[in-house]
Protein backbone atom coordinates (compact mmCIF):
# COMPACT_ATOMS: atom_id res chain seq x y z
CA UNK A 1 0.00 0.00 0.00
CA UNK A 2 2.66 2.51 1.00
CA UNK A 3 4.68 1.60 -2.11
CA UNK A 4 1.71 2.58 -4.28
CA UNK A 5 1.54 5.92 -2.47
CA UNK A 6 5.27 6.59 -2.74
CA UNK A 7 5.52 5.65 -6.44
CA UNK A 8 3.96 8.94 -7.68
CA UNK A 9 6.32 10.89 -5.41
CA UNK A 10 9.30 9.03 -6.88
CA UNK A 11 8.00 9.81 -10.39
CA UNK A 12 7.34 13.41 -9.28
CA UNK A 13 6.85 15.07 -12.69
CA UNK A 14 6.90 12.06 -15.02
CA UNK A 15 3.94 12.38 -17.36
CA UNK A 16 5.03 9.57 -19.69
CA UNK A 17 4.18 5.93 -19.11
CA UNK A 18 1.34 4.21 -17.35
CA UNK A 19 0.12 3.84 -13.76
CA UNK A 20 -1.99 1.06 -12.31
CA UNK A 21 -5.35 1.69 -10.69
CA UNK A 22 -3.95 0.78 -7.30
CA UNK A 23 -1.16 3.36 -7.60
CA UNK A 24 -3.62 6.07 -8.59
CA UNK A 25 -6.30 5.29 -6.01
CA UNK A 26 -3.92 4.74 -3.05
CA UNK A 27 -2.26 8.06 -3.85
CA UNK A 28 -5.63 9.82 -3.95
CA UNK A 29 -6.93 8.12 -0.78
CA UNK A 30 -3.86 8.80 1.34
CA UNK A 31 -3.67 12.41 0.11
CA UNK A 32 -7.34 12.83 1.05
CA UNK A 33 -6.73 11.43 4.55
CA UNK A 34 -3.70 13.68 5.02
CA UNK A 35 -5.73 16.69 3.84
CA UNK A 36 -8.51 15.89 6.33
CA UNK A 37 -5.96 15.57 9.14
CA UNK A 38 -4.39 18.89 8.16
CA UNK A 39 -7.88 20.43 8.03
CA UNK A 40 -8.69 19.28 11.57
CA UNK A 41 -5.30 20.41 12.87
CA UNK A 42 -5.66 23.76 11.12
CA UNK A 43 -8.99 24.39 12.86
CA UNK A 44 -7.41 23.61 16.23
CA UNK A 45 -4.18 25.52 15.55
CA UNK A 46 -4.64 28.06 12.74
CA UNK A 47 -0.92 28.84 12.77
CA UNK A 48 -0.33 25.35 11.33
CA UNK A 49 -2.56 26.02 8.31
CA UNK A 50 0.57 26.83 6.34
CA UNK A 51 1.52 23.12 6.54
CA UNK A 52 -1.71 22.22 4.80
CA UNK A 53 -1.00 24.71 2.05
CA UNK A 54 2.56 23.49 1.60
CA UNK A 55 1.43 19.86 1.40
CA UNK A 56 -1.31 20.72 -1.11
CA UNK A 57 1.12 22.58 -3.34
CA UNK A 58 3.77 19.85 -3.03
CA UNK A 59 1.32 17.09 -3.98
CA UNK A 60 -0.21 18.98 -6.92
CA UNK A 61 2.34 17.98 -9.59
CA UNK A 62 2.60 14.30 -8.55
CA UNK A 63 -1.21 14.16 -8.42
CA UNK A 64 -1.56 15.51 -11.94
CA UNK A 65 1.23 13.26 -13.21
CA UNK A 66 -0.28 10.06 -11.75
CA UNK A 67 -3.69 11.04 -13.20
CA UNK A 68 -2.15 11.51 -16.66
CA UNK A 69 -0.36 8.15 -16.41
CA UNK A 70 -3.65 6.55 -15.29
CA UNK A 71 -5.37 7.87 -18.42
CA UNK A 72 -2.48 6.48 -20.46
CA UNK A 73 -2.99 3.08 -18.83
CA UNK A 74 -6.48 2.83 -20.31
CA UNK A 75 -5.22 4.00 -23.70
CA UNK A 76 -6.42 7.61 -23.52
CA UNK A 77 -4.62 10.92 -23.70
CA UNK A 78 -3.83 12.61 -20.41
CA UNK A 79 -6.16 15.43 -21.40
CA UNK A 80 -9.11 13.11 -20.66
CA UNK A 81 -8.53 13.79 -16.97
CA UNK A 82 -10.09 17.21 -17.57
CA UNK A 83 -13.47 15.76 -18.58
CA UNK A 84 -15.72 15.56 -15.50
CA UNK A 85 -17.26 12.17 -14.64
CA UNK A 86 -15.68 10.46 -17.66
CA UNK A 87 -12.26 10.75 -16.03
CA UNK A 88 -13.60 8.95 -12.95
CA UNK A 89 -14.99 6.17 -15.14
CA UNK A 90 -11.60 5.87 -16.83
CA UNK A 91 -9.82 5.88 -13.45
CA UNK A 92 -11.89 2.83 -12.43
CA UNK A 93 -11.38 1.08 -15.78
CA UNK A 94 -8.97 -1.84 -15.95
CA UNK A 95 -5.65 -1.47 -17.75
CA UNK A 96 -5.48 -1.87 -21.49
CA UNK A 97 -3.96 -5.35 -21.94
CA UNK A 98 -0.44 -5.53 -23.28
CA UNK A 99 1.58 -2.56 -24.37
CA UNK A 100 -0.04 0.51 -25.85
CA UNK A 101 1.41 3.67 -27.38
CA UNK A 102 2.15 4.99 -23.87
CA UNK A 103 4.29 2.04 -22.79
CA UNK A 104 4.18 -1.50 -21.43
CA UNK A 105 1.39 -2.65 -19.14
CA UNK A 106 2.45 -1.92 -15.54
CA UNK A 107 0.62 -5.03 -14.32
CA UNK A 108 3.02 -7.37 -16.07
CA UNK A 109 6.54 -7.66 -14.76
CA UNK A 110 7.66 -9.30 -17.95
CA UNK A 111 7.67 -7.65 -21.34
CA UNK A 112 4.91 -8.56 -23.73
CA UNK A 113 6.15 -10.84 -26.52
CA UNK A 114 4.45 -8.63 -29.11
CA UNK A 115 6.70 -5.74 -28.04
CA UNK A 116 9.66 -7.47 -29.68
CA UNK A 117 8.04 -8.59 -32.93
CA UNK A 118 9.41 -6.91 -36.03
CA UNK A 119 6.82 -6.19 -38.69
% of the chain with per-residue pLDDT over 70: 91
* Terminal C-alpha separation, the chain: 40
pLDDT of residue 119: 45
pTM for the model stands at 0.85
Is the predicted pLDDT of residue 71 greater than 60, yes or no? Answer: yes
Which pLDDT band, with edges at 50, 70 and 90, does 85 fall under? very high
Residue 59: how many other CB atoms lie within 10 Å = 18
% of the chain with per-residue pLDDT over 90: 76
pLDDT of residue 23: 95
pLDDT of residue 107: 85
Task: List, for residues 31-67, the tens digit of each pLDDT value.
Answer: 999 999 999 998 998 888 899 999 999 999 999 999 9
Task: Give the C-alpha distances (Å, rounded to integers) separating 58 from 48, 76, 94, 115.
Answer: 16, 26, 28, 36
Number of independent structural domains in the chain: 1
Residue span of the structural domain in which 96 resides:
2-116
CA angle 15, 113, 109 (to 5 degrees): 55
Amino acid sequence: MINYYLAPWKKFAQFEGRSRRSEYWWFQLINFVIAVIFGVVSVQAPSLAILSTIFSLASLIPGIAVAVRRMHDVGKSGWFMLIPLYNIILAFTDSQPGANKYGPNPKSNELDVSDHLVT
